[in-house]
Amino acid sequence: MSVAVFGASGYTGGELLRILITHPNFNVTVATSREYAGKPVYLAHPHLKGLLSLKFSSTEEALRKDFDYALLALPHGFSKDIVPSLLGRGIGVVDLGADFRLKDPSLYREWYGWEHPHPDLLEEAVYGLPELHREEIRRARLVASPGCNATATILAAAPLVNLGARKLLSDVKVGSSEAGSKPSKGSHHPERNGVIRPYSASGHRHQVEASQELSNLAKEEVDVSIVPHSVGSVRGAFASVHAYIEVEESVLWRAFAKFYSGEPFVRIMQKGTYPNVKNVLGSNFADVGFSSDPSLPRVTGFAAIDNLMKGAAGQAVQSLNIMAGVEETSGLKTPPISPV
Amino acid sequence: MSVAVFGASGYTGGELLRILITHPNFNVTVATSREYAGKPVYLAHPHLKGLLSLKFSSTEEALRKDFDYALLALPHGFSKDIVPSLLGRGIGVVDLGADFRLKDPSLYREWYGWEHPHPDLLEEAVYGLPELHREEIRRARLVASPGCNATATILAAAPLVNLGARKLLSDVKVGSSEAGSKPSKGSHHPERNGVIRPYSASGHRHQVEASQELSNLAKEEVDVSIVPHSVGSVRGAFASVHAYIEVEESVLWRAFAKFYSGEPFVRIMQKGTYPNVKNVLGSNFADVGFSSDPSLPRVTGFAAIDNLMKGAAGQAVQSLNIMAGVEETSGLKTPPISPV
Amino acid sequence: MSVAVFGASGYTGGELLRILITHPNFNVTVATSREYAGKPVYLAHPHLKGLLSLKFSSTEEALRKDFDYALLALPHGFSKDIVPSLLGRGIGVVDLGADFRLKDPSLYREWYGWEHPHPDLLEEAVYGLPELHREEIRRARLVASPGCNATATILAAAPLVNLGARKLLSDVKVGSSEAGSKPSKGSHHPERNGVIRPYSASGHRHQVEASQELSNLAKEEVDVSIVPHSVGSVRGAFASVHAYIEVEESVLWRAFAKFYSGEPFVRIMQKGTYPNVKNVLGSNFADVGFSSDPSLPRVTGFAAIDNLMKGAAGQAVQSLNIMAGVEETSGLKTPPISPV
Amino acid sequence: MSVAVFGASGYTGGELLRILITHPNFNVTVATSREYAGKPVYLAHPHLKGLLSLKFSSTEEALRKDFDYALLALPHGFSKDIVPSLLGRGIGVVDLGADFRLKDPSLYREWYGWEHPHPDLLEEAVYGLPELHREEIRRARLVASPGCNATATILAAAPLVNLGARKLLSDVKVGSSEAGSKPSKGSHHPERNGVIRPYSASGHRHQVEASQELSNLAKEEVDVSIVPHSVGSVRGAFASVHAYIEVEESVLWRAFAKFYSGEPFVRIMQKGTYPNVKNVLGSNFADVGFSSDPSLPRVTGFAAIDNLMKGAAGQAVQSLNIMAGVEETSGLKTPPISPV
């Protein structure tokens, strides 16, 4: 089956290409980039030199070509305008941006500042977290694949929600690749190396989708506040989701084990050991764990992911596999790389 | 005035020496090390070569010498046995370990596993956070100087406590130098570089002293739970102290500004900007800030410190200055170094 | 075909397992570790949890088992004693240590301090750099696979030797994983992070094998001096091989292109661009390039490799593939991972 | 005495301010920045918040003010136009750019692409390496202070030149702060973290000034070729200067010890130990050492400096001190900070 990658010159686009190069079921036949249109892929991704002989095309050219599936790794706000025509041509779409993640159209006005042009598609779109929506993804035409902060938060929180937590504070720590491939003052190496600082710490956008999904799971309102922090890693996102409920660790263990039973990409840490981003880098794994402290009381769910894999490209391919009816882990079996 | 540094071959000891080399009021005349006794200081601290001609002595030798003040940078449990004799000789002591930080002797049994031999000295000892206990430090013979997790937590939390917060979750992120100079699996460079993972996440020791100090401030019970995380920085400790209270940011700003008014080493971030460990490295500054989110509701106090300075050696010298009646900032005026 | 990995709990051992888990032609049936004997593989390699259900065995147990090939990732000096019995049982051996790399037995006395017990096997063993010895590897029973400093040096130098260079200075820069998984003062994160310093800078052991191989290529004496440097990376080895000859860059380009024509794992940089370890991480690629300066005159060959892959485990599997008669790139097709 | 810092919003400018804040003999009264003119210094340098109440001015405003000395941390090509008027007003100038470093005006045409407008000032200007030109700096009106690659190269090479080396290959490794505070693709954190790669590897500009100074020392032609490499450090520059001469290490030690005898900022490593950038960070020290290898034969001189201190701001203040007749180490006594 043929796949087009839209927005293929950024980091997430590069990861999609990296995965698909060795994927047994898909071929990348189109890769778009505004900046690199007409140029060979290796100019944007020198690590892929010799592995892919494709040239980047513009979005316009790409839309004139044929392919079976489209993966959209575009900046927020760019997918909403091309998705309808792709769907209209019978092309299955996995969108890695935020344009189709929220069910309530008014939230786009509030959090993104624009009116959603296709509220019907919001209803149809499936939130692309297979651990919550596997069956709907199987039947979907349009998957809205979540990003790293939301993925890590939801995976760490879901078993806590099942235990009754309704107010969740997600303290997230992320590496620099999360902000993309465009240089900025905050990502300038001398400034970013060794950094520990919060960003967007009041009303983080991605808490809206985390609340939506966890409320959906609880079948009642769940409030989530995300406080993200930049740290000096390149890859990795780690969520520590705190809730003021009293649950002992053996009960937590059972809740996590039950919730993620049979999941191919979720590994559960044993009591007293914790997830570590170093153990998932380069892979689609999410390592999850927990701790509890009777002194507030407080429980915490932890999730460690590779922000470009389970937090972006890997997760999108996982949904693509499910949509396309191939093995869910196809193309995603490469073990984590460690140490790196 | 002469100073002895006990435990001078570790990182905190090295920082004490670095500060004291250029301190206008004190001379280091004794530096102890079990491992390096008899050897020149530069063997343990090659960066100080040419700046200090001292040799390390053993603890026993050191205790036979004369000096005006003693700074104890020993592992937990080692200070309690030598402090009484130092005090008996009229030597002022700043202990950087945990042996005299807790007021309630039973807590040593519970959290450290030993019976405290000198409960009377627990009563006398002053918790060495000048922002809370400046006047008592001035009159003290024995100061129990706090470490980086407690310092960052308390400085971020104190204004929130004044605003009514009584249940505080401190999500701390620290660099590798916090664990000392002894190699271990967790601090092995390939394992630690780029890491994001929790440690001691259930019942962290230092939350006991944070609770003690913040309860003391509130004049009622304040519960603190600390969840510390290792990140890939070398220096820096960052506390994000979360509380489920509703306070808007302008009120938070005033609370922080009032609480730290006149403090020589606390800098308050303006609304919408956050502390960053990169801005305090090499200095005794604590940069503090805050955010709030109406959605839980939730407020967060932030504090960024250099774990070896305001989180250890710098703070100890600040207390030493106060005790000794010299200018509080003496020897601590070196600006932060950035970028590094 | 079944493979035993000896010394499987270190970093190179972990990489061998990571590669072999998805290798279509080989199964790991035995993995040895002195430290972890009897324990599951994921205890030493938590990133491989869920991917390999093997337990470590002792060397003694392992030698009683059956397998087709043995990969030896043991410390220098340990292979020489077990290789003869493995060969005697018809097992093909790829040794990743130094025990069989040198042809002249007297060099072991001089550089390693021991008498080689099997000089006949030195004659038989093939130096496992497929770019130089592919055909001999195909017929070999015993391959002595080179490490990262020698591999990077030889790959950067070989085309220069063909252009007449006979005195080569290899200034190598390596990441911390090169020194293995055992913690030490030099690899302690606070000491290693951001470091730039030489080590073993007078008479480096691996220059002996580089001289042997390059002299063999030149059919006359080639002298190589290696000056290795530790830098703050985790993975990556980079050789800058300088020679005082005058060759212009277009001639250099042709020499490199010709030398590595058809090589599946060598990529040649275009004039004016240089190799970068970031483009080969996680893969078996060696990116090679060059520069020249008329002012001495001076030419430099550059090679960037992943020290654990083309500098260790990947190269060993490449030789294993050749020996076993399967496709040379089998199991080694995973693209480099970037950024990481 | 009052000092104006031109180009004060970059990294070198920030370091000059950091040093001068605690300098006992100088006050910064003017700091220029095109980007930040009119804004407080802490906006560009948040680490200096609370330590300096100055606002940035434009170059034009600055030139209308009075001050005793000017430190120019401007991009190459900007100093040459303002230096004559500063000198004309009796202001002593230390220029940290390249505009006055070369004696031969034709070299500006060849290496920088412009005609030098003030060849007379080239003759007058003193190359600001106190280890070579202390007495001339004392009498100078205009000091051309060298950058990090040249400083490290010359300090590592000078004793070798005295031993007869005439063809020197300087393999330099530098951290990211060397390239300044402006974000770029190459300094984007995900790209730069852990990098090892050469840059400007054919005909590096700074080898011209190194050749000039070392030829001057040798009183005959000395050829220097610099091959610089980017590594993942933030601070630090390390030169490994290789020469094909045969000298044993005890002779090398004496040559280094003699050459740098009495130098306040040069520390010589003992035989068998090597300089390390980690031991000089934050200070004006240059740690120098050497190794030799009989096999080519080859000798190497090593120098480790903090690129923003001895490689830029610290060295400029050292020259300023000498020019102004104050103690040479004034304001530069802060010990190196380690670990960081």
Label residues A259-278 b or e (16+ Cβ within 10 Å = b): bbeebbbbbbbeeeebbbbb
pLDDT digits (tens, 9 = 90+) for D260-277: 999 999 999 998 899 999
Nearest alpha-carbon partner for A321 in A155, A79, A122, A130: A130
Tell me what pLDDT residue D253 has. Answer: 96
Q: What is the mean pLDDT of chain A?
A: 97
Question: Which residues from chain C sit within 8 angstroms of residue D167, using beta carbons?
Answer: 244, 296
Q: What are phi and psi of B74, to 5 degrees?
A: -100, 160
Interface check for B201 against chain A (CB to CB < 8 A): the answer is yes
CB C234 within 8 A of CB D231: no
Tell me what pLDDT residue C337 has. Answer: 98
Of C47, C49, C340, the CB nearest to A235: C340
Side-chain-side CA neighbours of C255 within 13 Å: the count stands at 23
Nearest alpha-carbon partner for D227 in D201, D196, D197, D195: D201
pLDDT digits (tens, 9 = 90+) for A184-211: 999 999 999 999 999 999 888 999 999 9
Q: Which domains can be identified in chain A, with CATH numbers?
A: 2-145+312-324 (3.40.50.720), 148-305 (3.30.360.10)
pLDDT digits (tens, 9 = 90+) for A141-161: 999 999 999 999 999 999 999
CB D19 within 8 A of CB D330: no
A188/D188 CB distance under 8 A: yes
Side-chain-side CA neighbours of C166 within 13 Å: the count stands at 5
For CA atoms A62, A68, A71, A75, the dihedral sign is positive
The size of the A-C interface in CB pairs under 8 A is 78
| Alpha carbon distance B39, B8 (integer Å) | 12
| Alpha carbon distance A332, A317 (integer Å) | 8
Which residues, numbered 215 to 244 in chain A, qualify as contacts with chain C under a Cβ-Cβ cut-off of 8 Å? 234-235
Nearest residue in A to C305, CA atom:
A47
| Alpha carbon distance C100, C104 (integer Å) | 10
Which residue type sits at A274? Y
Chain D: give the shortest CA distance to residue C271, in Å.
10
The one-character DSSP state at B269 is P
Nearest alpha-carbon partner for B148 in B304, B5, B31, B292: B304
pLDDT digits (tens, 9 = 90+) for C27-76: 999 999 999 999 999 999 999 999 999 999 999 999 999 999 999 999 99
Nearest residue in A to D44, CA atom:
A185
- DSSP letters along C302-334, please? EEEE-TTTTTTHHHHHHHHHHHHTS-TTTT--P
Tell me what pLDDT residue C185 has. Answer: 96
C232/D194 CB distance under 8 A: yes
pLDDT digits (tens, 9 = 90+) for D7-24: 999 999 999 999 999 999
Q: What are phi and psi of C206, to 5 degrees?
A: -75, -10
Question: Which residues from chain C sit within 8 angstroms of residue A278, using beta carbons?
Answer: 47
Question: Which residues from chain C sit within 8 angstroms of residue A280, using beta carbons?
Answer: 47
pLDDT under 70 in chain C at which residues? none
Residue B108 bears catalytic tag: no
Nearest alpha-carbon partner for C314 in C70, C171, C174, C146: C146
Tell me what pLDDT residue B204 has. Answer: 85
List the pLDDT tens digit at each of the 340 positions of chain B.
999 999 999 999 999 999 999 999 999 999 999 999 999 999 999 999 999 999 999 999 999 999 999 999 999 999 999 999 999 999 999 999 999 999 999 999 999 999 999 999 999 999 999 999 999 999 999 999 999 999 999 999 999 999 999 999 999 999 999 999 999 999 999 999 999 999 999 888 999 999 999 999 999 999 999 999 999 999 999 999 999 999 999 999 999 999 999 999 999 999 889 999 999 999 999 999 999 998 899 999 999 999 999 999 999 999 999 999 999 999 999 999 999 9
Interface check for C176 against chain B (CB to CB < 8 A): the answer is yes
| Alpha carbon distance A208, A109 (integer Å) | 13
Question: Which residues from chain D sit within 8 angstroms of residue B279, using beta carbons?
Answer: 46-47, 49
Chain C: give the shortest CA distance to residue A47, in Å.
4
Question: Which residues from chain D sit within 8 angstroms of residue C207, using beta carbons?
Answer: 293, 295
Which residues, numbered 11 to 70 in chain C, qualify as contacts with chain B under a Cβ-Cβ cut-off of 8 Å? 11
| Alpha carbon distance B255, D23 (integer Å) | 35
Cross-strand pairs, D230 = D174, D197
Nearest residue in C to D273, CA atom:
C199
Output the furthest CA–CA distance in chain C (Å, rounded): 61
Tell me what pLDDT residue B291 has. Answer: 96
pLDDT digits (tens, 9 = 90+) for D42-76: 999 999 999 999 999 999 999 999 999 999 999 99
pTM greater than 0.90 (yes/no): yes
Nearest alpha-carbon partner for B87 in B102, B68, B74, B73: B68
Residue from B17, B28, B122, B148 carrying the catalytic annotation: B148
The one-character DSSP state at B77 is T
Chain B: give the shortest CA distance to residue C43, in Å.
13
- For the segment D144-166, the average pLDDT, to the nearest whole number, is 97
| Alpha carbon distance B41, A65 (integer Å) | 71
Tell me what pLDDT residue B182 has. Answer: 96
What are the Cα distances from residue D17, in Å, to B276, C42, D54?
20, 52, 10
Tell me what pLDDT residue D315 has. Answer: 98
| Alpha carbon distance B314, C298 (integer Å) | 50
Which residues, numbered 268 to 297 in chain B, qualify as contacts with chain D under a Cβ-Cβ cut-off of 8 Å? 276, 278-283, 285
B335/D49 CB distance under 8 A: no
Of B207, B225, B236, the CB nearest to A194: B236
